[in-house]
Structure 1
Amino acid sequence: MSTRTAKPLLARKHPDKFVGRDAELDRLYLRAVSDMGSGSIHLSGRAGTGTSELLRQLYDRLFFEQRFVVPFYYSLNSRDATAYTATANYLYQFVLQAIAFRRQEPGLIASAPDICELETLSPINDVDWISRLCKACKNEGPLNDERSFIRSSLSAPFRASFAGGFRAFVIVDDLHQSVNLENGRVFVDEMVNIAGRSGTQIVLGSRSRYSMKSIAEQRIDVERLDRKSFVDLAATAAADRGVDMNEQSRDLVALKFAGRPRLLESFLEAATSKRVALQSYREVERLYSKELLEGGLGTYFDDNFARAASEPILRQKLYEALYHTIGNGNERFRLETLRERLGVRPDIFGRMIDILSVDEVLDVNTGAAQVSDDEILRDFLIARHRASTNIGSLAVTAAQTVTNALKRAPKLVASDYRRGAALGMTELLLDFDMQRVPRSLLDYRLFRENLKGLSASEARSQIAKEGEQMTLPLVAHAAPIVDHLPEFGEPTEPDRAVIAVGFADRSYSDESEIVWFAAEIDSKLEADYSLTREWVDRLDTVADKLGYSEHKIWLIAPEGFSDGALDLLAEQGGFGSSRKQAQLLREFLHGGSPAKSEAYEYEIVIPIGEETELIAVHAFEEIARKYAFPPKAVNQIKTALVEACINAAEHSLSPDGKIKQRFSVDEEKVVIIVSNRGMRLTDRMPIRPEAEGDDKRRGWGLGLIRSLMDEVRIESVDDGTQITMVKLIKPSA
C-alpha cells in the first residue's frame, strides 16, 4: 500500500485508506509502467464495488510516482447528454491532464482553465502537439458527420503521444453511462475499436452487466470485497469520521452494505453529520431507516430510477409495478407485461431496462426479469410504495422500516456466523477424485469405535494404520441445493446443503454416474433417528423433484449420529459423519496424514514391445535390493509387474507407445502404479466366460495379479488405464 503524503488528485480517498484492492492496483500499475507494448484491459465490477475508485487511485499513483508515462483518466457522465458533448469533454480533459502532468502541477486540473489558457500553459517542448489539440478543441466539430468527429477526437491521445515522443496510459471509465447519452453507443464502439488497433495501452472500465463487444487482451472482473476486507474498511471508515461504533454494530453494518463501499461511506457520513453513535443494532437500524426515507441511501436509488424514468409519473408507476412483484415472492415477470403496464414505447422501454439492469435493479434474462436480490432495494421500494399510497404518515413508514430491519438484524448476523463456521461442503466435495481413504473418515460408527476421544495427533496416527478403505467418487460438479431448487433456501444456509454429481469410476459411463446429497445439520448431541429421518425425507424429496432416482446421502452433524440414525442412513446406502471426521477428511485429501511413514518414489517409462517389461523387472530388482525386500515378495511382485505391463501393451492402441511405472516404497509396503495412454479397459469388449485365446488369457492374467498382490485396483483414467498394486512387506533380516 502506498505511503505517499500528497493529497488525492482524482481519487476520493487517500491511498492509505483504500482497503482491499492492493493486488488489482499493483497489477494495473505495473502494466502501465512496464514496457509491454500495446494492449487493452477491460475492468468491470458490480455497482458500488469501487471499480471507479480503483481506477482513480491508479491515475493518482501514475501521476505522483513516476515521470515517463503520461496518465489520462476520463469518466463518461450522463450529464454530457450526447456522445458529441462527451467526446469534446474527453479531448479537453486529455489536454488539461497532459499539461498538468508535464508541468507537475496537479492543482491545474481542479482549476479547469479554458482552452485558450491551456495553450499558453504548455511546456515549450510540447507546444506543437498541444497547440494542434487546442485548435481542435476550439474549432473542430461534426464537419462531415458526428461519428467522424468522435473517431478523430478519441484517437487524439494516441496521435499526441506519437508526436510528443512519450507514452500515454489512457483510462476510460464508466462506459455503462453511455446508455444515458444520445448516440452513446457510438462513443463506446469507437473507443473499443481504437483500443483494438492503438499502440497505446488503454483500460476500459464499466459495470459487470454492461454489454459491449470486447477486444481487450485482458479482462479483470473486480469482485466485491470479501467479508474480512469489508469489515476492516467499515472499521477504518468509521474511525476516520469519528463515528463511535462497536464490533457488533460494525459486523451488522458490513453485512448490510455487503461489499459496496459507496453505500457504506454514505451511511457513515450521515452518522458523522447527525452525530449518531452506532453502539447497538437499534442505533444502526434507526439511522438506516432515516437514510433510506430521507437521506443518502434513498437518494442513491432515486437517482438510479430517475436515470431510467425521468418523468415522475412514469417513475412512480415503475416503483409500484416492482413493489408488487416483490410482494408476490419476487417471481420473474415478462418484460412485455411491464412495458404494457407502464404504457411506454418499445424504444423508451428498451433504454429503461438497459439502465435498470446495469444499475442492478433488475436481473434480466431472455425477455423476463425479476427485482435483484438486494435487501436495501426492497426496503426502498416498500417505503416508496407506502409514501405514494399514503399508507400512514412518514412516521408510521419510518417505524415499520426500522422495526422490520431490527427483526432481520440478529438473523442476518447469525446467518453470517453460521456461514463462517460452515465446513464448506461445495469445496470439500469438489476435492473428491477417486481417492482411497480410510472408511472411518466417513463412517461415524467406525470413527466412534476407533478414533473418538483421541487427540488430533493420535487420531491421525490411527488413521494412517487403518486397513479398511473406501474409494470416493469423482465429483465433476457441486453446488448448493438452493441453486438447483430455490425453494430449498429456507431450511439451511446455502453451502450447508449441496448436490454433487460425478462418477463412481473413470469410465464416465451412464452406469457409473452418481449423485451425492450432502448436508450439515444441527444437533447438540448425536443426531437422533427423528432428526435424521427428517433430513433424509427432505433430501429424497429434492432428489425426486430433480429426477435423481439413484443417489447417496451424506449427513454431517457436530457430534455424529445415534445408532438408530446410522442404521437408517445405512439402509439408504448413505453415511453419517461428525464434524471432526469431515475436518480430518479434508486434511487427508489435502496431503494425507502427517503420521504416515515417509515414502520414496521412483519412476520409469518403457516402450511397448520387444519384451521391454523385463527392463521394468530389472529396475524393480534394484529397488528391492536397496530396501532388502524378502525374496518371496520380490518374485511375486516381479510376476505381477510383468503381467501388468503385458496387459498395458496389448489392445490399448496406445498413441505414444509407452508404459509408465511408478514405485512408492515405505517401511510397510510397496505401491506400484502401471499406466498407459490409449483404449481404456471399460472401452474394450468385456471378457466373457466362453472367450478364447488372448481375451481369455488377459482375464487369467488379471486374476494372477490379484492372487499375488495384497491389493489391486484397475481404473480407467481420462485417456487410458491405470493399475495400482499394493504389496505389504517386511524387510528381510
Structure 2
Amino acid sequence: MKDRMLFNTCPDGEFFGRVYEIDYICRRAAEKPAPAIFLFGGRWTGKTELLRRVFHGLFWGQARVVPIYYQFKGYGSAEEFAEDYLKEVLKQYLAFRLRDARLVRNEVSLDKLDRLLVDNDLYDLADLAAIHREARRASDSTAALRNALSSPAMVSARSGIPVYLILDDIDHAACSDGQREAALSRELIDSLSLGPASFVASASTKRPLDGAAFSGSAEAMELPGLDEEVATSMMMDLGRQYGVEFDTEILRLAATRLEGNPMYLKSLVWAAAKSGVSLSTLKEFGDLYTQDLFEGNMGIALRSALGLRGINSLRVLHACSTSKRPLSDEDLSERFRLEPSELENIIEGLSEAGLVEVNLGSLLWAGGSVVKDFICFVYETRVKGRSAEEVRTYLAREILKEGFGFRGARAGLKLKDEVAEVMRSFNNQKVLKLLFRNQAFSARFKKGKGGDEGELTVPQSVGCFSSERLEAGEAGPPILVAHGFQNGRYDSGNEVVWIASVKDALSPVNIGDVENFLRRTQILRENFRAAKVVRWMVGREGFTAEAQKRIEAEGVFSSDSVQLKIIKEGLADKDSATRLKSSDKIAPVKEFEVVLPSSSKAELVAAKAVEEIGTEMGFDDAAIGQIKAALVEACINAFEHSRLKIAKVFLRFVASADRLTIHVQNGGVDFDSPSEPSDPIEAGAMPRKRGWGFELMRGLMDEVRVERVRGGAKIVLVKYLVKGDSSNGKEV
C-alpha cells in the first residue's frame, strides 16, 4: 500500500466538526482565480489540524493546483526564514510532482534538494538554491528574502499549474531582530499581495502582521470552538476510548464551559482517565477542571502560551479580564502608575498573544472564559497572596453554582436568540395583530371564540441588540432593543424602536414581570429619540390572567412561544407569508425532537415517530408511507456519512397548519451533495448508489434541501398537508 502520510495529524477518531471548513477551502482553492482567505481563531481551536488536512486533500485529491504548506515558527534572522521557506516550497513541489510523500515529511538539506532538482531536469528551480547561497555569502538578507518569496511564482511558471499556499500561524512571521522584523513582514505581505499564488493563512489575531497591510482582496473566516453537540460527541467518543464513565448532561456543561476548544476538551478527558475519575457528576467536573487548569495539561499549555512580561503585565491583564467595558490606556496608566513606554510594551505583548483587542487607545478582553479562570488563579496567588487551595475552592464553588442552573440558562439563551432573530427579520411585512395579542390569540384558538384582529405592519429592521449596557444592575428577564423605519421612509417621523422582554421559564409571565418591564421601558425610552416606541413581551409559557389584563390596558404587545413560532416561520419562509395574514390558516406549531443513537435499525424508530405525528396531523396512509420512506433514507444517509465513531442523528419535527417539516442533522459532518450531477452509467453496469438517495427523497417529498450549519449540514424534508395548496403548487 502506498505511503500517503504527509504531516502529523491527530487520529481521525479525535478529529471532529471541521469538515465544512475543509471542504470549503479545498473548493475555493480550485477556483480560477482562487480567493485569498485569512483564517482567524483562538489558540488550540484546530487551525493547524484543519490546514494540514486541507493540504492532504489537495495533495492527493486533485491536480489543478500545487499545494504548499508552510508553518511559521519565529526566526533568528530573515536569512534563516528565507532558507527554510525556500526548502519547503521546492521539496513540496517535487513531492507533488513525483507523488512521493516522504519528501514532504522528511528533512532535506538545500544541497541535497539542489541535486534532486537537477536529477529531475528542474534546472530553473535549482537556480533558486544557487541564488540563495550567493545572497547568504554576500550577507544580503533582502536578496535572500525576495528570492525565497518568489519561489512559488517560479514553481507556477515552471509547472504551468497555479500554486496554492497554505500558510499556518502567519502571525509568527517575525525574527528576533526588531529592525528586520518589519522588513520580513513587509516583504511577505507584498509577495502575497502582488504575487500570482493564492493562499489561505491562519492567525490567532485579526492583526496577523502588525505594520504591514494586505492590499489585495481577501475574505475572512472565523474558526470558533466546536458546536455544543459536536463537542459533546467528541468527549463521549474520547471517554469511551479511555474508559472514562460520564453523564451526557455533564459533558454538555463541560463543552459549554470549555468553549468547544478541542485542546481543552481532550485535556479534561485525559485528566479524568489519568486520575481514574468519572465525569458523571457536577462536582467531579468541577474538581477535574480546576485541577487540570491549575496543575495539569491546560495549566502548562496556558503558562507557556501567555508569556506574561512581569507582574504589571499580569495586573493589566487581570483588570481587562474582569472589566465589563473597554479600559482606556489612561485608566490603566493611572490605576497601576505605569510609565507610558512600559504600558505600551505590555499592551503590545497582550495584543500579540490575542488576549486583548486594542482599538483607539482602549483595551477589550478577548481571551475567553478558560483563560480568564487561569488569569484569576495566577493573579490571586501571585499578587493577592492567597493559597492555591483557597482559589481552587472559590472557582469550584462558582462552577457548581453555574452548573446547577445550566439547563435553564441554555433554554433562556435559545428563546432570547429566537426573539432577536425575529426582530432582525422585520422588513415591512404585514402580520396579524392576533399574533402579538396573547389574550386574543388564546380566546381565538384555545377557547374557540374571538374574531379577526386585523393586520400589523412591522418595520424594516436596522439592527437588534441587548439592553444590558443601558441597564447596569437591573434585575429581571433580558430585554432586546430593535431599531427600524416604517413605510419605507428613512426620517425621524418614521423611526421606530421595538423593546422586547423575554421570559423563558416554566412559569407564565405574571403581574410582577409586567410591572418590572413597564418600569424598565420607561427608563430605556429616554435613550432613544424615535417618534414611536413599541413594547413587546414574550413568555414561553404564556401569561397569567392578571398579567394579560394589565398588558392590554397598557397597549403592550404579548406573545407566547406558539405565537412566536408562527411569526418566525412566516417571516423566514416566503411561501408561508400569506399564513400571517389570515387567521383561518393559523394553527399552533408543534415541535418534537428525537435523538437517534448509532445502533442497527435506529431509523425505524424515526419512522414510527413520524407515522404517529403524520396521523395526528391528518395525512393519509399513502402520504405517511412516502414520508416514512424519505425519512428512513435521510437517516441512513446521515449515519453513513458521519465520521464519528459514536454517531448520533438529531431529528426535529415541526408540525404546522399546512405542512410537516423534518430536520435531519448528523454529528458534525456533511452529507453527499445533492447538487452534483450524477456520473453517466455505462451500458450493462449497475447504477451507483451515490446521489440516488436524494433523488428518492425528492420523488417522495414536496421539498428537499441541504442547509449548512455550524460543524456540518442538515437535510430538510417538507411535506404539504393541504391538497392543491395555491401557495406552493404541490399536491400530496
* TM-score, structure 1 as length reference: 0.70
Match of 2:67 in 1: 71
CA 1:39/1:533 → structure 2, altered by over 3 Å: closer, same or farther?
closer
| Alignment coverage as a number of residue pairs | 575
SS at 2:278 equivalent: coil
Tell me if the contact between 1:527 and 1:565 (Cα under 8 Å) persists in the aligned partners.
Answer: yes
Whether 2:358 is the aligned partner of 1:364: answer: yes
Partner Cα separation in structure 2 for residue 598 and residue 321 of structure 1: 62
Q: Does the aligned pair in 1 maintain the 2:37–2:221 contact within 8 Å?
A: no
Equivalent residues of 1:503, 1:512 under 8 A apart: yes
CA distance in 2, matches of 1:330, 1:467: 47
Offset, 1:392: 4.5
SS in structure 2 opposite 1:153?
A: helix
What displacement does 1:391 show? 3.4
Equivalent residue, structure 2, for 1:286: 287
Retained in 1: the 8 A contact 2:495–2:531? no
Whole-angstrom distance in 2 between the partners of 1:484 and 1:584 = 31
What code does the residue aligned with 2:19 have? Answer: D
Amino acid at match of 1:290: Q
- The alignment status of 1:529 with 2:523, answered yes or no, reads no
Aligned to 1:386: 380
- Tell me: CA distance 1:598–1:272, structure 2 relative to 1, closer, same or farther (3 Å): same
Q: Is the counterpart of residue 256 in structure 1 residue 257 in structure 2?
A: yes
Indicate the larger mover: 581-590 or 281-290: 581-590
Instruction: Kindly indicate whether the alpha-carbon contact (under 8 Å) linking 2:493 and 2:531 is maintained by their aligned counterparts in 1.
Output: no
Partner of 1:300 in structure 2?
A: 301
Please state how far the C-alpha of 1:282 moved relative to its aligned partner: 1.8
Instruction: Name the counterpart of 2:246.
Output: 245
Please state if 1:437 is matched with 2:437.
Answer: no
3-state SS, counterpart of residue 105 of structure 1: coil
* Alignment check: 8 A CA contact 2:6 2:56 kept: yes
Structure 2 residue 460 is matched with structure 1 residue 475? yes
Structure 1 residue identity aligned to 2:87? Y
**Alignment match, 2:718:** none
Q: Does 1:319 align with 2:314?
A: yes
Q: Deviations over 1:637-661 (max 9, x none)?
A: xxxxxxxxxxxxxxxxxxxxxxxxx
State the one-letter code of the partner of 2:99: Q
Letter in 1 for 2:234: L
Instruction: Give 1:347 shift.
Output: 6.4
CA deviation string 1:62-95 (max 9, x = no partner)? 22323563321112123x2444432322112223
Corresponding residue of 1:644:
none
Relative distance call for 1:166 and 1:587 in structure 2 (3 A) is closer
| Residue 570 (structure 2) aligns with | 588
Q: Give the Cα–Cα distance (whole angstroms) in 2 for the partners of residues 522 and 65 of structure 1.
A: 49
For residues 345 and 76 of structure 1, the distance between their equivalents in structure 2, rounded to whole angstroms, comes to 33
Q: 1:423 to 1:222 in 2, by over 3 A?
A: closer
> How far 1:350 moved relative to its partner?
4.1
Q: Deviations over 1:684-710 (max 9, x none)?
A: xxxxxxxxxxxxxxxxxxxxxxxxxxx
Q: Which residue identity does 1:113 align to in structure 2?
A: V
After superposition, where does 1:401-412 map in structure 2 within 5 Å?
A: 401-412=395-406
The 2-side partners of 1:217 and 1:187 are apart by 21
1:28 to 11, 25, 29: 25
Give the root-mean-square deviation of aligned CA atoms. 3.5
| Cα deviation digits, residues 533-554 of structure 1 (max 9, x gap) | 1122123222235566852211
Change (3 A) 1:136 1:287: farther
For residues 416 and 452 of structure 2, what CA distance do their matches in structure 1 show? Answer: 30
SS at structure 2 position matched to 1:517: strand
Equivalent position amino acid for 2:128 in 1: L
Alignment match, 1:570: 552
Q: Are the equivalent residues in 2 in contact too, given 1:39–1:216 (CA < 8 A)?
A: no
Once structures 1 and 2 are overlaid, which stretch shifts more, 288-297 or 180-189?
A: 180-189
For residues 39-68 of structure 1, give each alpha carbon's deviation from its aligned partner in whole angstroms, at most 9, with x where no partner exists. 533333344432332211111112232356
- List runs of 5+ in structure 1 lacking aligned partners: 455-461, 600-733
Q: Greater relative contact order: 1 or 2 (C-alpha under 8 angstroms, separation 6 or more)?
A: 2
**1:112 aligned partner:** 107
CA distance in 2 between partners of 1:156 and 1:84 (Å):
15
Closer, same or farther: CA 414–443 of 1 in aligned 2, 3 Å:
closer
- SS at structure 1 position matched to 2:246: coil
Kindly state the Cα deviation for residue 244 of structure 1 after the two structures are TM-superposed. Answer: 3.3
Other structure's SS at 2:405 match = helix
Superposed CA deviations along residues 385-405 of structure 1, whole A, max 9, x for unmatched, are 232247344333333333333
Query: Match of 2:537, as an amino acid?
Result: L
Contact 2:320 2:363 in 1 (8 A): no
Taking a change above 3 Å as real, the CA distance of residues 486 and 193 of structure 1, as seen in their structure-2 partners, is farther
CA deviation string 1:172-209 (max 9, x = no partner) = 22122246753334333322222233222222322342
- Other-structure match for 2:540: 558
Once residues 534 and 342 of structure 1 are traced to their aligned partners in structure 2, the CA distance between those partners, rounded to angstroms, is 40
Give the secondary-structure state (helix, strand or coil) at the position aligned to 2:535: strand
Q: 1:414 aligns with which of 408, 413, 429?
A: 408
The residue type equivalent to 1:70 in the other structure is V
Any gaps of 5 or more consecutive residues in structure 2? 586-732
Q: For 1:12, give the aligned amino acid.
A: T
The structural deviation recorded for 1:515 is 1.1
Residue 424 of structure 1 pairs with residue 418 of structure 2:
yes
Taking the aligned partners of 1:304 and 1:369, their CA distance within structure 2 comes to 20
Match in the other structure for 1:134: 129
Q: Do residues 195 (structure 1) and 192 (structure 2) align? A: yes
The Cα of 1:422 is off from its aligned counterpart by 4.7
Is 1:519 matched with 2:501?
A: yes
Assess, with a 3 A threshold, how the Cα gap between structure 1 residues 120 and 325 changes in structure 2: closer, same or farther.
closer
**Equivalent position of 1:220 in the other structure:** 220
CA 1:578–1:399: 2 relative to 1, 3 Å: closer
**Amino acid in the other structure paired with 2:109:** D
Amino acid of the structure 1 residue aligned with 2:233: D
1:210 positional shift: 1.5
C-alpha separation between the residues in 2 aligned to 1:136 and 1:192?
22
Distance 1:325 1:65 in 2: 46
Aligned-partner SS, 1:140? helix
- Greater Rg by CA: 1
Identity of aligned residues (%): 21
Measured against aligned partners, the alpha-carbon deviations of 1:287-323 in whole angstroms (never above 9, x if no partner) come to 21122112222233323331x52xxxx2x23213433
Letter in 1 for 2:291: K
Tell me, in whole angstroms, the C-alpha distance in 1 between the residues paired with 2:98 and 2:254. 44
CA gap 1:136/1:299 in 2 versus in 1, 3 angstroms: farther
Q: Distance in 2 between matches of 1:93 and 1:254?
A: 37
User: Which AA in structure 1 matches 2:483?
Assistant: V
- Counterparts in 2 of 1:150 and 1:348: CA distance versus 1, 3 Å: farther
In structure 1, how many angstroms separate the alpha carbons of the residues matched to 2:345 and 2:53? 31
**Native 8 Å contact 2:496 2:530 kept in 1:** no
The CA deviation string for residues 452-491 of structure 1, in whole angstroms up to 9 with x for no partner, is 267xxxxxxx99xx64312233132332324653736864
Contact 2:505-2:541 within 8 A present in 1 as well: yes
Letter in 2 for 1:50: G
Distance 1:126-1:427 versus aligned 2 partners, 3 A rule: farther
The residue type equivalent to 1:444 in the other structure is N
Structure-1 separation of matches of 2:370 and 2:408: 19
Q: Given the alignment of the two structures, is residue 399 of structure 1 paired with residue 400 of structure 2, yes or no? A: no
State whether residues 432 and 472 of structure 1, in contact with CA within 8 Å, keep that contact through their aligned partners in structure 2: no
In structure 2, the residue corresponding to 1:20 is in which secondary structure?
A: coil
Matched, 1:12 2:9: yes
